[in-house]
Structure 1
Amino acid sequence: MENALRLHYAPDNASLCVRLVLEEMALPFETVLVDRSTSAQKSAQYLAMNPNGLIPVLETPHGPMFETAAILLWLADREKMMVPAPDTPERSHALQWLFWLSNTFHASLRMLFYPDKYTRKASDTLREMTRERLVAQLDMLEAAQSVPWRDSQDVTIHACYLAPLLRWCALYGGSTEWFDLSRWPKLHAFAQRFETRPAVVRAAKAEGLGPTPISAPSPCCPPEGTAL
């Protein structure tokens, strides 16, 4: 089909953010499993679409796209939903938070999950410092004023990006004793509200994320592939 979208994904990976947006937009799409157990994301075929060897890739009518935030923004602008229009005053506010989620919060989580990619020294030290930085970032997001995508019933691409990040805080990266979502009441309320949406329920079922995938997540038990 001319307008077919194909999401190259692995369960409970960054591709989940894209799946959530596709489900919320009710767009038809196909999924292609990237088998992490065999490092399929490093295969020549996959690297031809994403030279970084990271998940996700979204195949579009204009060719494959990588980078989670770029894919989300492209979909939102294409469908004219889930993000303020380019000519509105709210656009700059939306863009700064989208890039904060991508370049600041998500980047910190990657450092927590994969410390060996960032240091040849003791990874436990880096993890401890990264947890402290993540707590400060969560404190900032909780305290920030005028964050409609955090507090509104209307879902945005930001919400679809933030929700998996909160889930991963609770599950991955070594010791998770540092993270208790109830410490941040606004974020906790966001998680409880977001995970009841029909689109989120469909995505959680497709990837085996359990009944409370954001507010009280359990380890991923996917019907195909692996989250590792």
Structure 2
Amino acid sequence: MTPIYRLHYAPDNASLIIRLALEELDQPFETVLVDRRGGALDSPGYRALNPQGLIPVLETPDGPMFETAAILLWLGDRHGSVLPDATSRDRAWCLKWLFFLSNTLHADLRILFYPKKYMGPDPARQEDLRQGVTARLVTHLATIEAAAENTPWLAGDRPSALDLYLACMMRWMALYPEGRDRSWFDLDATPRLKDMLTRLEQRPSVALAQAAEGLGDTPFTQPVYANPPEGSAT
């Protein structure tokens, strides 16, 4: 089948979430490696696709799309299975948690990873910010663990867009920023989410992503830094 999608990605970036969704939906796609280190995010060509200069971008028949949650929602509406359709009573529940993941959890992760962008060059102020945001992240994970108790759309039998988004973010919590104490992140504190990550590692979609981006054998439960076969672009 001729691919109708083109995913602009870098290994172990937010594009991984979209790669997993495309694989789960059995949609053929092409990939374009974005040379972050070489300044591709600020190139006129990339900024024409995403004015914010961020990853991912998914080129679609309806034009280029950016923002991870927007792409997931669009793919779910177009191809089904990873999100309930517009007539489902589960739709409202999934949308509120999808945007919680995007607007709250993912936003706090960006603060953790890039405190200088928010607090300037003062290391002490950056550290204060990191301490505050890690406490928030622990609370967020406990909240999501509770939300997963009685729904098929989060940590259920079949992966949803919520599962894929959350799994990648939990991977990053365990790995980044490099060289810092991450004792605050305790996978055993969220047993439903840990079980979800374990089951995801058995999915064909994850095996394909592992091979493409060099994610190791246990990319979610015992993650290692990516060793992409075509080389890192970050």
Structures share fold, TM-score greater than 0.5: yes
How far residue 227 of structure 1 moved from its aligned partner, in angstroms, is 6.2
SS in 1 for 2:49: coil
Between the aligned partners of 2:12 and 2:101, the Cα distance in structure 1 is 17
Task: Give the CA deviation at 1:3.
Answer: 6.2
How many residue pairs end up in the alignment? 228
**Counterpart code for 1:13:** N
Residue 158 (structure 1) shift: 1.0
Query: Percent identity of the aligned residues?
Result: 53
Does 2:44 correspond to 1:40?
A: no
1:133 to 131, 136, 148: 136
Query: What is the match of residue 24 of structure 1?
Result: 24
Out of 166, 169, 179, the residue aligned to residue 170 of structure 2 is 166
The one-letter amino acid paired with 1:105 is L
TM-score of the two chains, using structure 1 as the length reference: 0.95
Pick from 178, 196, 212: which aligns with 2:218?
212
1:179 alignment partner AA? F
The 1:177/1:215 distance shift into structure 2, 3 A limit, reads: same
2:12 corresponds to = 12
Secondary structure at the aligned position of 2:163 is classed as helix
Taking structure 1 as reference, are residues 169 and 71 closer, same or farther at Cα in structure 2, changes over 3 Å only?
A: same
Task: Note the alpha carbon deviations across 1:54-76, whole angstroms, 9 max, x for none.
Answer: 00000011110000010111011
Q: Match for 2:6: what amino acid?
A: R
Counterpart-to-counterpart distance in 1, 2:116 and 2:225? 23
2:173 aligned partner, one-letter code: C
Match of 2:127 among 124, 129, 148: 124
Post-superposition CA distance 1:119-174 (Å, at most 9, x none): 12421111111101000101111122424233311111111111100100000023
2:56 and 2:66 in contact (8 A); partners too: yes
Q: 1:146 aligns with which of 142, 146, 150?
A: 150
* TM-score between both structures, scaled by the size of structure 2: 0.93
On the 8 A contact 2:4/2:60 being kept in 1, the answer is: yes
Letter in 2 for 1:220: A
Match of 2:128, as an amino acid?
A: T
Q: Deviations over 1:79-132 (max 9, x none)?
A: 122111101211100100110110011111011001111112421111111101
Structure 1: 4+ residue segments shifted above 3 A: none
CA-to-aligned-CA distance 1:34-63 (integer Å, 9 cap, x gap): 011112111111001000010000001111
Aligned twin of 1:52: 52
Alignment partners' CA distance in 2, 1:163 and 1:224: 23
Larger relative contact order (Cα-Cα within 8 Å, sequence gap ≥ 6): 1
Residue 225 of structure 1 deviates from its aligned partner by 4.0
Q: Deviations over 1:178-228 (max 9, x none)?
A: 212112111111111111111111111110000000011011111124264
Q: 1:36 aligns to what SS in structure 2?
A: coil
Residue aligned with 2:150, SS: coil
Instruction: Tell me, in whole angstroms, the C-alpha distance in 2 between the residues paired with 1:202 and 1:51.
Output: 30
